[in-house]
A and B are shown apart, each in its own frame.
Chain A
Amino acid sequence: MTAIAPDPTGPGRSAAASGPGAAGAGPATTGSPGSRALGIAALAAVALATLYGLALSPADVEMGDLVRLMYVHVPSATACYLGCFITTAASGLWLWKRTPGWDVLAGAGAELGLLFVVITLVTGSLWGRPTWGTYWTWDARLTSTALLAVLLVGYLALRRLDLDPDARSARVPILGLLLMPNVFIVSRSVEWWRSLHQRATITTLHPQIEGDLMVALMTGFLAVTLVFAWLLLHRFRVGWLEYQAQRLDLDQALDARRSEAGAGASRPTGDEEVAK
């Protein structure tokens, strides 16, 4: 799973390295031959996981067909933590390097983290209703996952505010940097809290997965990982294009004002090309 991290940062680093002067550089679309191949691979993996998870693998001895939810649930939970980790790491790198690509990557990681944490909570509740007889129980992992979702919502709420770049460049990465420590402290303390009252319910209900079920779970992991990588890549590129578009808007507005002000002032020749 670690292999996917360099993928999305590639264009960010190269585009960011070319500096602010190169507005408009970089991909004009969010797709590329590489990402198309990744997308096809992700689709194939989803098809394989569906086939294996729903048809080829047998029902579990204890959980019956409910075990099939686990093939989505467990990989989604992993993907959500991966998204949080990407956000924190990219926030740290943004503070350090000050290249805008890391900012865009931090946002993409948090959005995907929120998507997968919602999938985790929904599949978990659907599984919990027939297994435990309730959609929700105050289990350590459930509670800390719910708090993780709220932490992500808070981070994205600050991100989507229309702040001026100066105010943004300090606040957003610091909050992103605090995300992973918060997730860690919350999950530790919640685990400690619940373990005084009852054993962690999920771990005791998790059977040792073997054989065909293990293969199905692995196909689930493969599918979710590839989908995560594909989504991250495209969200990153959309974010990057947004960033470029904002810069272009500003440049064009400046040019328009200049040409209004001085009748003789000619616009830079390269500008129309960039605008297209």
Chain B
Amino acid sequence: MWRDAALVAGRDLRIEGRSRVAISQVGPFALLVLVLFAFALDPERGVLERATAGLFWVAVLLSAMLTLGRSAALDEADGVRDGLRLSGLDPGGIFLGKALAVAAQLLALEVVLAAGVIILYDAEPTGIALLVATCLSATAAVAATGTLYGALVSGLRVRETLLPLLVLPALAPVLIGATRAFESALGGVPAEGWPWCGLLAGFAVFYSLAGALAYGALLEGS
């Protein structure tokens, strides 16, 4: 299963690497969101500094919608789904591979966004370990949930509008948990952030299991 996952993740990442959409469009979009927040909230009064953690994760979620949409669209064209079904790859492996590819892209995006908030919002990271752990667990949660819901709406004409409606409410706990953990890491008490990090990890495990179990049925019923 893990070998299958590595194969599928390699395929998705290779396609992204060649099309360069993640680098040339999704990354700039995420930075643009950071700048738009500065227009919306008065940057002179320290609002941005106080809201940095939340704004960072909202920017990640909005950009993740684009990445997830692309990940789901990869399998729509040219009978890729039928190819995957005929390939004999383990459906759980396919799911994990797609989720891993999304997670890798999101992690790269988060590095860019982190540089963005440090430069633009004057954020001062203190609890580095907590920041890294939160990024890893929250990204795994977003990638697993998004890949499962992406498969639910893949191939539908309304995919682009339906995906955010289904995913964002389900990801509300991730936004809450990641924001609280980041707040404790950015000038708060890092010890308070770790339980939230645990919640994110549990969420990621739940959706990874659900996705790996459900993906076979979703692949067949398309």
What's the Cα separation between A166 and B152 when bound, in Å? 13
Q: How far is the CA of A189 from the CA of B176 in the complex (A)?
A: 7
Contact yes or no, A171 B218, CB < 8 A: yes
Residue of A nearest to B164 (CB): A154
The answer, yes or no, to whether A157 is at the interface (CB within 8 Å) is: yes
In whole angstroms, what is the CA distance A212 to B199 when docked? 43
Residue B170 contacts which of A178, A192, A193 (CB distance < 8 angstroms)? Answer: A178
List chain A residues, Cβ under 8 A from B210.
178, 181
Chain A contributes a number of interface residues (CB within 8 A of B) equal to 29
Q: A154-B165, A154-B166 are in contact. Are A171 and B152 (CB under 8 A)?
A: yes
B170 and A161 contacting across the interface, CB-CB below 8 Å: no
Query: A40 → chain B, closest Cβ, in Å?
Result: 39
**CB of B158 within 8 Å of the partner chain:** yes
Of the listed stretches A19-27, A82-90, A109-117, A145-153, name the one at the interface; the rest are far from the partner chain: A145-153
Q: Tell me how many residue pairs across A and B have CB atoms closer than 8 Å.
A: 72
Q: Mark A127-163, 1 if CB is under 8 A from B, else 0.
A: 0000000000000000000010011011001100101
B153 contacts A by Cβ under 8 Å: yes
B132-185 CB contacts (< 8 Å) to partner A: 152-153, 155-156, 158, 162, 165-166, 169-170, 172-173, 176-177, 180
Interface residues in A58-74 (C-beta closer than 8 Å to B): none
Q: Are A193 and B206 in contact (CB under 8 A)?
A: no
Known: A170-B218, A186-B172, A189-B177. A181 touches B162 (CB 8 A): no
Q: Which residues of A lie under 8 Å from residue B199 when comparing CB positions?
A: 189, 192
A122 to B210, CA, bound (A): 34
Assuming A189-B172, A193-B180, is B166 touching A175 (CB within 8 A)? yes
Q: For A193, what are the chain B residues with a Cβ–Cβ distance below 8 Å?
A: 176, 180
The answer for the CA separation of A166 and B219 in the assembled complex, in Å, is 11
Residues of A within 8 A of B214 (CB): 174
Interface size class, chain B: 20 to 34
Contact of B165 among A157, A168, A188 (CB under 8 A): A157
A169 touches B221 (CB 8 A): yes
> Are B169 and A186 interface neighbours, CB within 8 A?
yes
Residues of chain B within 8 A of A196, CB atoms compared: 180
Q: Is B217 among interface residues, defined by CB-CB distance under 8 A?
A: yes
B221 contacts A170, C-beta separation under 8 Å: yes
* B203 located at the interface, meaning its Cβ lies under 8 Å from any Cβ of chain A in the complex: yes
Kindly state whether residue A259 has any CB partner on chain B within 8 Å: no
- Say whether A170 contacts B217, CB under 8 Å: yes
A 166-191 binary contact with B (CB < 8 Å = 1; else 0): 11111100110010011001101110
Is B222 in the interface zone, CB < 8 Å from A? yes
Complex contact A151–B177 (CB within 8 A): no
B220 within 8 A of A: yes
- List chain A residues, Cβ under 8 A from B206: 181, 185
**Residues from 173 to 227 in A contacting B, C-beta threshold 8 Å:** 174-175, 178, 181-182, 185-186, 188-190, 192-193, 196
Contact B221 A171 (CB under 8 A): yes
Docked CA distance A186–B203 (Å): 11
Instruction: Give Cα distance in the complex from A76 to B13, angstroms.
Output: 48
Chain B residues within an 8 Å CB radius of A163: 156
Q: Take A151-B169, A174-B218 as given contacts and tell me if A167 and B203 are in contact as well, using a CB distance cutoff of 8 Å.
A: no
- B222 pairs with A166, CB closer than 8 A: yes
Q: Which residues of B contact A185 (CB under 8 A)?
A: 173, 203, 206
Tell me, in angstroms, the Cα distance from A168 to B156 when the chains sit together: 11
A161-B156, A175-B152, A178-B210 are known contacts. Are A167 and B221 too (CB-CB below 8 A)?
yes
Assess A158 versus B222: contact at CB under 8 Å? Given A147-B169, A170-B217.
no
Query: Whole-angstrom distance from the CB of B19 to the nearest CB of chain A?
Result: 27
Q: How far is the CA of A192 from the CA of B195 in the complex (A)?
A: 11
Interface residues of B in 29-46 (CB under 8 A from A): none
Instruction: Verify A167–B170 contact, CB threshold 8 A.
Output: no
CA distance A175 to B172 in the complex (A): 17
Interface residues of A in 85-99 (CB under 8 A from B): 95
In the assembly, what is the distance between CA of A139 and CA of B110, in Å? 30
Which residues in B have their C-beta under 8 angstroms from that of A154?
162, 165-166, 169
Beyond contacts A170-B218, A170-B220: 8 other A-B pairs, Cβ-Cβ < 8 A, are: A157-B162, A157-B165, A161-B156, A166-B221, A171-B218, A185-B206, A189-B177, A193-B180
* 10 A-B pairs (CB sep. < 8 Å): A153-B165, A158-B166, A169-B221, A170-B222, A171-B153, A175-B166, A185-B203, A189-B172, A189-B177, A190-B173
